[in-house]
Amino acid sequence: MTDTTTSTQTNLGRFVEAAVERLREQDPELYGILDAEYRRQAGVLSMVASSSVADPSALICEAMTPMNVTAEGYPGRRFHAGCRYIDEIEQLAIDRVCKVFGARYANVQVMTATSANEVVMFSCLKAGETLLGMQLDSGGHLTHGSPASISGQVFNAVGYGLDGSERIDYDKVQELARQHRPKLLICGTTAYAREIDWSRFRAIADEVGAWMLADITHIAGLVAAGVHSSPIDHAHFTTTCTHKQLYGGRGGLVMIGKDADMIGPDGKRTLAQTIDKMVFPFFQGAPNQSSIAAKARGMGFVGSPQFKAVAQRVVKLSSALAEAFKAKGYRVVFGGTDNHIVVVDVAQKGITGVNAEKALEDCGIVVNKNRIPFDTRPPTVTSGIRLGTNGLAIREMEPEDMVECVDVIHDILTHTRQDSDKTYTIEPDTKAAALAAVAALCTRRPITTYPPVRD
Ligand SMILES: Cc1ncc(COP(=O)(O)O)c(C=O)c1O
């Protein structure tokens, strides 16, 4: 292997450059695929609501040497030696999470939002006990009681939904809570575009003696930036992942606000102690310390003034996106948006969600098929698509660009023939024009945090 490094580089700089070079020389096949993925991301319009573009400084932390350290336990109380800097990294991550979200407790070891939710469920419920969560069709998540996940298999899951105006039906939540007396009330969503009333949920939880879990996985960045109200001091537990809207670190968090020292479900431990024990040793062994470093870095970005501007742009763009769809005659579910999500009923325009998703991807625009409230089509087909603006805000797009995006999307959808629910044909001229338009837009609005791609 040739040494291409210069003497002015730092140790970490030499390490990273040598690592990339070693990968290229020793495993060109994998290197080629990773390079192609980097190029793909630079050259497509990612409008996936559940993604963002991690800051390179957070991405690189995921690849650092803390990965090599096995460190069961928590800072200052490890079951392994060699954890001096590991403890510093984890404590930094905890302190930054608490500062950014105004929390009094944070567990940064959970690997995903799914495991964060499971940690809270198993802290509050025994097998067979009742939880109340939002139904999938209404915008809830699999982990909130769907039979397809452990949450709906191990516990008795009762679901709430939307009212006639496509808003969370809080009166029905209250009625169901009174009827079923759940031990855990879950709020937070995966495809709901409106502001959530955390205090109403807490009042319902308190009335029936339930613990409250707010899952802010989708809107964590907006909450951190003060663009969406915070559940931290309303919910007993708040969970999120760090990779959807926090632009860095792939993993989960469990946070607690003012109730951190409240005695928990076992009547002995505080809520904070309960979560610590449930994460390790009940659910996990040694955490991924590189991911924890990436979470610390991600939180550094989220706590900066630049991030507030990104979050404000996310919301400005999504509302422009919703308006642009309406102007073209589409039905926007929920009537619009308060966050980064826009759900569009495409079946009404004669195309299924899955065909719309695939046709758009063929043209360089990435969105997700999504069921809409009261959808009669199965999850593999769907009547809608869900779009999000996290990946557009980091390109510093403007509301006018949303009009251009919708023009291209509309052109593709109206020139795609639906052959069956899951098959379609796009007119070749439309596809060529759309690919050119997307390439031009991506060049004009590059990902601002990434170095440009060169051939
Ligand atoms: C509300 C909500 N909770 C949890 C999850 C699961 O996240 P993860 O992929 O980190 O397990 C998702 C993912 O879409 C989500 O939208």
Are 285 and 315 within one domain? no
Q: What is the pLDDT of residues 378-400, one digit of tens each?
A: 999 999 999 999 999 999 999 99
Assess whether 160 and 292 both reside in one domain.
yes
Q: Is 325 helix (H, G, I), strand (E, B) or coil?
A: helix
* pLDDT tens readout for residues 125-167: 999 999 999 999 898 999 999 999 999 999 999 999 999 999 9
Report yes or no on 33 lying in a domain: no
Answer yes or no: do 378 and 392 share one domain.
yes
Q: What is the pLDDT of residues 317-376, one digit of tens each?
A: 999 999 999 999 999 999 999 999 999 999 999 999 999 999 999 999 999 999 999 899
Residue 367 belongs to a domain: yes
Residue 11 domain-assigned? no
pTM of the model: 0.95
pLDDT band at residue 6, thresholds of 50, 70 and 90? low
Cα-to-centroid distance, 271 and ligand 1 (Å): 22
pLDDT in tens, 282-324: 999 999 999 999 999 999 999 999 999 999 999 999 999 999 9
Mean pLDDT calculated for residue range 57-73: 96
Q: What is the DSSP letter of 18?
A: H
The residue contributing the CA closest to ligand 1 atom 15 is 190
Q: What is the mean pLDDT of residues 36-47?
A: 96
The pLDDT tens digits for 84-118 are 999 999 999 999 999 999 999 999 999 999 999 99
Q: Which of 302, 331, 364 is the last residue of a domain?
A: 302
β-pairing verdict for 365-366 and 416-420: unpaired
**Residue 191 CA, closest ligand 1 atom number:** 16
| pLDDT for 47 beyond 60 | yes
Task: Quote the CA–CA distance of 340 and 245 in Å, as a whole number.
Answer: 9
| Domain match, 331 and 292 both | no
Q: Are residues 293 and 327 in the same domain?
A: no
Residues 322 and 240 occupy one common structural domain:
no
Strands (E), 300-370: 331-332, 341-345, 365-366, 368-370
Average pLDDT for 17-33 = 97
238 and 353 co-located in one domain: no
Looking at the structure, tell me whether residues 295 and 323 fall in a common domain.
Answer: no
* Rounded-to-integer distance, Cα 46 and Cα 86, Å: 34
- The pLDDT assigned to 1 comes to 46
Closest CA to 140 of 158, 165, 125, 155: 158
Residue 428 maps to a domain: yes
Helix residue spans in 102-241 (DSSP H): 113-124, 150-154, 170-180, 198-208, 220-224
Q: Say yes or no: 273 and 318 in one domain.
A: no
Q: Is the CB of 241 under 6 A from ligand 1?
A: yes
- Whether 418 maps to a domain, the answer reads yes
10 Å CB burial of residue 8 (0-12, 13-18, 19+) is exposed
Taking the CA atoms of 329, 333, 336 and 341 in sequence, report the sign of the dihedral they define: negative
What CATH number is associated with residue 348? 3.90.1150.10
Q: Are residues 367 and 384 in the same domain?
A: yes
The pair of three-digit structure tokens given for residue 34, joined into one six-digit string:
């990773």
Domain count, the chain: 2
31 is a domain residue: no
Do 388 and 266 lie in one domain? The reply is no
- Pocket test residue of 51, 109, 114, 151 for ligand 1, highest count of atoms within 8 A of CB: 114
Domain holding 390, by residue range, is: 305-444
Q: Is residue 454 part of a domain?
A: no
Ligand 1: centre distance to CA 118 (Å): 11
**449 in any annotated domain:** no
Query: What's the pLDDT score for residue 4?
Result: 54
Domain boundary among 254, 273, 302: 302
CA separation for the pair 414, 402 (Å, rounded) = 18
How remote is the CA of residue 3 from the centroid of ligand 1, in Å? Answer: 42
| pLDDT number for residue 241 | 96
Q: Is the CB of 216 under 6 A from ligand 1?
A: no
The pLDDT mean for the chain works out to 96
Residue where one domain finishes, among candidates 281, 302, 323: 302
Q: Say whether both 288 and 323 belong to one domain.
A: no
CATH number, domain at 215?
3.40.640.10
